Amino acid sequence: MPGRHQPPNRDPRRLFSSAERAQIAARQRHVCKHCDGNLPVGFHVHHVIPHSAGGRTHPNNGIAVCPSCHPLAPVLPMPNFVPRQWQADALPGLLPILRRRQFATLNAAPGAGKTAETAWIYENLQATEDIQRIVVFVLHP
């Protein structure tokens, strides 16, 4: 609809392609993620993180469900993340390094918010399709 406001970072594509639908169904062995029944020919693909909340139309964010199970399918709530000052300051320096496929180290005191920062970095990189997954190493003394 012309003139309609799109929330920031919303995937402009709402529907899963035929290839994505086939990939999701095959990943689930053609079984509904909600009721464990066989998927019918007209199965639905559900956004786990809702499209309206910024969830991407990507196989990693889709599950196949029976049409009758779709209203009951799980939805992951989006956290309300407000970065601390150091997190906001670190993001612009880290993103270009990671987009060049180089390694970066994030070091902060315990409880400072490294995990939240890492999730925020991942969200930013995934939104631009620079990455599909992230590996986090945690060292304990």
Is residue 126 within 8 A of residue 132, CB to CB? The reply is yes
Q: Answer whether residue 3 is part of any domain.
A: no
The dihedral over CA atoms of 121, 59, 73, 79, expressed in degrees to the nearest 10, equals 10
Last residue of a domain, one of 72, 100, 118: 72
**Same domain, yes or no: 61 and 101:** no
Assess whether pLDDT exceeds 50 at residue 20: yes
pLDDT of res. 2: 38
pLDDT of res. 141: 66
**Same domain, yes or no: 85 and 132:** yes
pLDDT of res. 115: 81
Q: How confident is the model at residue 114 (pLDDT cuts 50, 70, 90)?
A: confident
pTM for the model: 0.54
Is residue 62 within 8 A of residue 47, CB to CB? The reply is yes
pLDDT of res. 122: 82
Assess whether pLDDT exceeds 50 at residue 137: yes
Q: What is the mean pLDDT of the chain?
A: 82
Instruction: Provide the residue range defining the domain that includes 102.
Output: 79-141
**Same domain, yes or no: 53 and 68:** yes
Q: How confident is the model at residue 22 (pLDDT cuts 50, 70, 90)?
A: very high
**Same domain, yes or no: 65 and 90:** no
* DSSP at 126: H
Number of domains in the chain: 2
**Same domain, yes or no: 49 and 93:** no
Torsional sign, CA 78, 83, 84, 86: positive
Instruction: Please state the φ and ψ torsions of residue 95, each to the nearest 5 degrees.
Output: -60, -45
- 């406001």: which residue's tokens? 5
**Same domain, yes or no: 28 and 55:** yes
**Same domain, yes or no: 99 and 57:** no
Average pLDDT, integer, range 19-27: 95
pLDDT of res. 104: 83
**Same domain, yes or no: 99 and 68:** no
Q: Answer whether residue 5 is part of any domain.
A: no
